[in-house]
Amino acid sequence: MNRALHYRSASEWLALMASGEITSRELVELCLARIDRHNRALNAVVALDAPAARAAADRADLARAHNAELGPLHGLPITIKDTLEVAGLPCTSGAEKYRGYRPARHAPAVRRLVEAGAIVLGKTNAPQFGGDIQTDNALFGPTSTPWQAGHNAGGSSGGAAAAVAAGLVPLELGTDLAGSLRIPAHACGILAHRPSTGAVSALGQLAGRPNRRAPMDMLVAGPLARDPEDLALALEVLVAPTEAGRLGRPQPAPAAASLRLGLWLEAVDCPPEPGVAGVLGQAVARLAGAGAGVAPCQPLEDAGRMFELFLRLMYAAMSVEYPDSLIARLAERARALPGDSRGLPGAMALGATLDHRGWLELNEERLVLGDRLARLFEDHDVLVCPVLHRPAWPHDEVPVARRQVMLGGQLQPWMAQAFWIALPSLLGLPATVLPAGIDTASGLPVGLQLIGPRHGDYRVLAAAARVHALLGGGLPPPLD
């Protein structure tokens, strides 16, 4: 495919700079021009420091000209999700109270990218404190997918995904607790990788107050890109030194005939809409036709309990940032729930008000589930499942606490649609999302999620590279 320069991969941009065919300054100018042309409609980039980016690009080009030692991302322009701290740039996390906050230091994952030579152009939009699976906030407003005006880019790394999909930058850094990398990748038709929990530092995320010393349970930082090779390249840079030995090294894409794909495409808890089911079915048929081994797989005896466990532990993790007044109301609500309460309506109250003993019991259940699921990956390279039950949706201005979603013909609480992203978050598993195809009825992209064993990140990324190639490599949005 003869792609325009702004849609080519980060790896291609790096190769062009290495060969002298283009300079870092020229790529920075390309990105700035794309932002100027498209950001008004997308609202993806919410902070920009063009003078500093140009100066950094000039320094990068000078270093290359003098044969200096260069990092693996030398001269590459990128953007960073606005929940992550970048020294000298605004970090609002979509909250009015932090409108003027400019951190003095980088988040650890940002620092690793910058030390590898990346040039941070600016910050991308996110919901307040990353607390939603669509991107909108009172400070900057909503972010749209470049595929259809008025439809949300997903969240919470929605600005990041929209920027990459629209060719504003080739690579981004976001975060993921409840699908915040994976849902926007699905909504915007790009790739994202949620690393194994702990593999990449998630410190330096502004989620209520700065300078937290301990990362939030299940929260990760990870890359978004248009090409699977870029995800592996970024992960090599991002991985914490103490975790590098566990993850090993990038692997070549396996031959189609050697792929063993476990298919988990249906669940009563979150049935995919016909358009999504159709795209995923066609993708699986195409993979099978190319020789990949595909087999239905039921990874969980009680998928509903898995989702409930995720929700309670998620709200327990998030509760450290809740004000005392909210905790008091949730405690009152929890006391009114029946002892055997299950499901989404009580999950926030029961999770946010867990005592330490209760948290330990749920964590033990999580560990047992992880041991059971590990056996699945003895027979399958990856588990293949949806990301969401639907493609990108129109901006929803209803406050998230009162928002609902249609699932299987019934209105459900908003977070019920997070079902398909819960398993990797709960168990700390690596997961890569890639474009599976376009829903012809809506014209919107549909993502496919590949899940692997804990610390099997490069195994998942290698499988994703082959699957991505077999499915045609994705398409750019209808912008140009």
CA distance 352 to 333: 11
pLDDT value of position 343: 73
pLDDT value of position 342: 73
pLDDT value of position 208: 67
Indicate if 106 and 210 belong to the same structural domain: yes
Between 265-269, 333-337, 417-421, the lowest mean confidence (pLDDT) is in: 333-337
For residue 467, is pLDDT > 70?
yes
Is 180 assigned a catalytic role?
yes
CB neighbour list of residue 323: distance below 8 Å, 6 or more residues apart: none
pLDDT value of position 236: 98
Indicate if 203 and 132 belong to the same structural domain: yes
For residue 332, is pLDDT > 90?
yes
Instruction: State the pLDDT confidence band at 415, using cuts at 50, 70 and 90.
Output: very high
Longest dimension (CA), the chain: 70
For residue 219, is pLDDT > 90?
yes
CA distance 426 to 311: 9
Sheet containing strand 119-124, strands side by side:
45-48, 119-124, 77-81, 171-176, 220-225, 191-194, 431-439, 444-451, 382-386, 260-263, 293-296
Structural domain boundaries, residue 354:
303-369
Q: Is residue 292 part of a domain?
A: no
Q: Is residue 53 part of a domain?
A: yes
For residue 314, is pLDDT > 80?
yes
For residue 78, is pLDDT > 60?
yes
Nearest to 113 by CA among 275, 249, 264, 230: 230
Q: Is residue 286 part of a domain?
A: no
Last residue of a domain, which of 201, 232, 259?
A: 259
Q: Which of 93, 144, 156, 425 is catalytic?
A: 156
CB neighbour list of residue 8: distance below 8 Å, 6 or more residues apart: 170
For residue 209, is pLDDT > 90?
no
For residue 3, is pLDDT > 60?
yes
**If DSSP codes are grouped into helix, strand and coil, which group holds residue 185?**
helix
- For the chain, the average pLDDT equals 96
Q: Which residue has the higher pLDDT, 25 or 241?
A: 25
Indicate if 29 and 169 belong to the same structural domain: yes
Indicate if 307 and 255 belong to the same structural domain: no
Number of other residues whose CB lies within 10 A of the CB of residue 402: 8
Q: What is the mean pLDDT of residues 301-311?
A: 95
For residue 216, is pLDDT > 80?
yes
Residue 123 and residue 173 in contact, taking contact as beta carbons nearer than 8 Å: no
Q: Is residue 421 part of a domain?
A: no
Q: How many domains does the chain have?
A: 2
What would the pLDDT profile of 225-278 be if each residue is shown by its tens digit? 999 999 999 999 999 988 999 999 999 999 999 999 999 999 999 999 999 999
Indicate if 14 and 89 belong to the same structural domain: yes
CA dihedral (185, 186, 187, 191) in degrees, to 10, reads: 30
Indicate if 349 and 205 belong to the same structural domain: no
For residue 406, is pLDDT > 80?
yes
What would the pLDDT profile of 277-297 be if each residue is shown by its tens digit? 999 999 999 999 999 999 999
Last residue of a domain, which of 240, 259, 278?
A: 259
pLDDT value of position 1: 52
Indicate if 239 and 318 belong to the same structural domain: no
Report the CATH number that the domain containing residue 82 is assigned in CATH.
3.90.1300.10
For the chain, how big is the Rg over CA atoms in Å?
A: 21
Between 4-8, 206-210, 378-382, 415-419, the lowest mean confidence (pLDDT) is in: 206-210
pLDDT value of position 81: 98
Nearest to 176 by CA among 276, 304, 317, 354: 317
Q: Is residue 469 part of a domain?
A: no
Is 341 assigned a catalytic role?
no
pLDDT value of position 210: 77
pLDDT value of position 340: 73
Q: Which of 180, 196, 425, 442 is catalytic?
A: 180
Indicate if 142 and 223 belong to the same structural domain: yes
Q: Is residue 449 part of a domain?
A: no
For residue 45, is pLDDT > 60?
yes
pLDDT value of position 404: 96
Instruction: State the pLDDT confidence band at 459, using cuts at 50, 70 and 90.
Output: very high
What would the pLDDT profile of 142-151 be if each residue is shown by its tens digit? 999 999 999 9
Between 2-6, 96-100, 158-162, 307-311, the lowest mean confidence (pLDDT) is in: 2-6
Is 156 assigned a catalytic role?
yes
In the chain, the percentage of residues whose pLDDT exceeds 90 is: 93
Indicate if 253 and 122 belong to the same structural domain: yes
Indicate if 47 and 125 belong to the same structural domain: yes
Q: Is residue 222 part of a domain?
A: yes
104 residue type, one letter: A
Indicate if 352 and 238 belong to the same structural domain: no
Pairing mode, if any, of strands 191-194 and 220-225? antiparallel
Last residue of a domain, which of 322, 352, 369?
A: 369
Instruction: State the pLDDT confidence band at 2, using cuts at 50, 70 and 90.
Output: confident
Q: Is residue 206 part of a domain?
A: yes
pLDDT value of position 313: 97
Indicate if 255 and 311 belong to the same structural domain: no
